[in-house]
Structure 1
């Protein structure tokens, strides 16, 4: 959102985040990607001390009271060089803690929001399952009330932060009603007996953001850990729009980084006796890359700015996410082409950007899912994707 009517304070915030990214995280990012490790605890505390983990959380809960735009500025600058660091800011400002802020009890907000801002609680979201990805309402993980506790059974998959975060907001089926009607969400600490983790996933990208299955076998949590009761699925996904804007910003950052590296490279690299930038095809390609990056930034900025008085507009969010996700794949691919053989090596960092671009195009709802959502908003009704015989109420 650079240059889009930023306030002086937001300009300073961007400069600070860029400096931290450049001086602290850029030197470590490749190593974290290579060894697939999560962000070390010391770096979580550093981000907390900088105020980045609570930048968009209310001041009364220890946050900075900033806007969604403020949070996206920090996420973008960090994500240009280090997605694991950006992801920690992402989870703390646009992730599941916002569900707690909007729909949790006063006790839950007081218990979790300040600890997230201080870096003491890291919370990941657990929606997908082995047989429930885009079709989230097919989820089977169940939580049943037993006295003063909820007993959770089931398996969650593709959980970013799985096995690394110390708390999870788990979407679960709370009663026997079909489809969305039986789904709610509750908080499950990682140390809960009956919760175990599968082997770390070996993903194409996201390598510095651990991912693992969550396996619930009679895991018991207090009744007070229920955040959204059965039938609250629409409420959950209304807040998930905030997370999708963070997702779009990750894609934007990847594309901007690919563009920036390409601009530097084509001015330095020589072929046929002159710099690459002197070739018209290179000029046109870089111009197209820039157009796409700026268009994504404007779409994200519009959705974020319009959300300041509340939750984002789903139509605007889905357009921004769909475009940004696909744009990052295209732009990082073009960057690889303009770098030639060098773009295919780890040394120049382009291949890492391209790998991560594909991950963010899947996470949080694929472009295909976003297009279905966009069509639903255009026509003012939902479209059942199931065969007639499989339709659920």
Structure 2
């Protein structure tokens, strides 16, 4: 972060950033490589530590056990944690920019009072499950069903790519609640991890995101209380409000990748010598560093602008998609340049730059790919809706 950008933060935000950076350097950075190689989730004790510091509930309203702070504050926390380890940042991502915000925005007073305090306290994590084997970017093609039976909802189907599956205590599962096509019949329900009829597939062995569990969720006649229905049928379209928050969280995780890759490259080129000179003295190296700085700072400014305009609410869909697409592509380019500047060291696990590059591709795929974001950007900018199936505008 440049001094100019840092100066735009108020004194509370600067103090928050310094506190979290120190915490991350002391508690999480030393374990990052081990958690990645062992695909190890964040230990429960460390999650509780985050909660004790108020970091899991930083955006959750005070009446539900949180801090009630603006979205930008959560993104500051997220970046500092993720620069040390995405595993450490993941609970904050889920609580402050992920499915917990859906409950805050759309849940009833009873649901918020019941579900949000345990998340802020670090007692439970809430994962989100949208994708299915045949419904990825085309999420509205989902076929997992929820049938209301008295005071219960009966769930049947298979969900895919659920981050946190098999490890989280609760899941916000998107299902089809009636026979209307597309988004009209889709809603969301909270499912406890120990619900009979809920099982998990084997853990995926992903290129990146190691330590952030991912698996299929299989629902076979799983029954949950009707009181756990957060979004009824027909409410899927309004969830784009929550998706915009999640996209800024995703963009910030990419920002952390890019900033960490830049920081590591800057240290290396200042210390490493070849041909009797620091490699920072070569103009091609200077050009690469300059490109990295420009891309990282451009992504940060877009993220900060979108979050600042949002305050405690959601950013505009256009601003969120621009920030996500820019940050996702920045992280891939900057982490690749960092590998090149490290030379053979960049290809070694010991230097962790290759981990950053692997994670960069994961954040680009999650939460709507750059191509999906480009469609969204064009749609918002032109004021048109595009039907991808028919190739028409509406």
Question: TM-score, with normalisation over the residues of structure 1?
Answer: 0.98
2:289 paired with 1:286: yes
Q: Gaps spanning 5+ residues in structure 2: where? A: none
Q: Which residue of 96, 106, 109 maps to 1:106? A: 109
The Cα shift of 1:310 comes to 2.5
Tell me, in whole angstroms, the C-alpha distance in 1 between the residues paired with 2:62 and 2:28.
27
Q: Which residue of 373, 382, 387 maps to 1:384? A: 387
The aligned residue for residue 241 of structure 1 is: 244
What CA deviation, in whole Å up to 9, does each residue of 1:63-116 have, x standing for no partner? 011110110000000000100111111111111011101110111100111111
What CA deviation, in whole Å up to 9, does each residue of 1:254-278 have, x standing for no partner? 0000000000000111111111001
The aligned residue for residue 233 of structure 2 is: 230
2:208 paired with 1:205: yes
2:84 aligned counterpart, secondary structure: coil
2:185 paired with 1:182: yes
2:387 aligned counterpart, secondary structure: coil
2:166 paired with 1:163: yes
- Describe the shift of the 1:314–1:199 C-alpha distance in structure 2 as closer, same or farther (beyond 3 A): same
Tell me, in whole angstroms, the C-alpha distance in 1 between the residues paired with 2:312 and 2:382.
25
1:157 aligned counterpart, secondary structure: strand
Tell me, in whole angstroms, the C-alpha distance in 1 between the residues paired with 2:78 and 2:24.
10
Tell me, in whole angstroms, the C-alpha distance in 1 between the residues paired with 2:238 and 2:227.
19
Tell me, in whole angstroms, the C-alpha distance in 1 between the residues paired with 2:294 and 2:134.
38
Tell me, in whole angstroms, the C-alpha distance in 1 between the residues paired with 2:87 and 2:131.
21
The Cα shift of 1:237 comes to 2.0
Q: Between Structure 1 and Structure 2, how many residues are aligned? A: 390
The aligned residue for residue 5 of structure 1 is: 8
2:47 paired with 1:51: no
- Describe the shift of the 1:309–1:121 C-alpha distance in structure 2 as closer, same or farther (beyond 3 A): closer
The Cα shift of 1:387 comes to 3.6
The Cα shift of 1:160 comes to 0.8
The Cα shift of 1:29 comes to 1.0
Contact 2:59 2:312 in 1 (8 A): no
Tell me, in whole angstroms, the C-alpha distance in 1 between the residues paired with 2:30 and 2:381.
45
Question: TM-score, with normalisation over the residues of structure 2?
Answer: 0.97
Tell me, in whole angstroms, the C-alpha distance in 1 between the residues paired with 2:105 and 2:69.
16
The Cα shift of 1:7 comes to 0.7
2:36 paired with 1:37: no
Q: How does 1:1-393 map to 2 (within 5 A)?
A: 2-3=5-6, 5-308=8-311, 310-387=313-390
What CA deviation, in whole Å up to 9, does each residue of 1:114-141 have, x standing for no partner? 1110011200000001100000100111
The Cα shift of 1:300 comes to 0.3
Tell me, in whole angstroms, the C-alpha distance in 2 between the residues paired with 1:32 and 1:179.
39
What CA deviation, in whole Å up to 9, does each residue of 1:32-52 have, x standing for no partner? 111112111111111101110
The Cα shift of 1:236 comes to 1.5
Tell me, in whole angstroms, the C-alpha distance in 2 between the residues paired with 1:11 and 1:236.
32
Tell me, in whole angstroms, the C-alpha distance in 1 between the residues paired with 2:206 and 2:238.
31
2:259 aligned counterpart, secondary structure: helix
Tell me, in whole angstroms, the C-alpha distance in 2 between the residues paired with 1:257 and 1:310.
28
Tell me, in whole angstroms, the C-alpha distance in 2 between the residues paired with 1:299 and 1:150.
41
Tell me, in whole angstroms, the C-alpha distance in 2 between the residues paired with 1:275 and 1:269.
6
What CA deviation, in whole Å up to 9, does each residue of 1:140-163 have, x standing for no partner? 111000111000001111111111
Tell me, in whole angstroms, the C-alpha distance in 2 between the residues paired with 1:234 and 1:57.
23
Name the Cα RMSD after superposition. Answer: 1.2
Q: Gaps spanning 5+ residues in structure 1: where? A: none
Tell me, in whole angstroms, the C-alpha distance in 2 between the residues paired with 1:281 and 1:272.
15
What CA deviation, in whole Å up to 9, does each residue of 1:355-389 have, x standing for no partner? 0000000000000000000010111111011147x
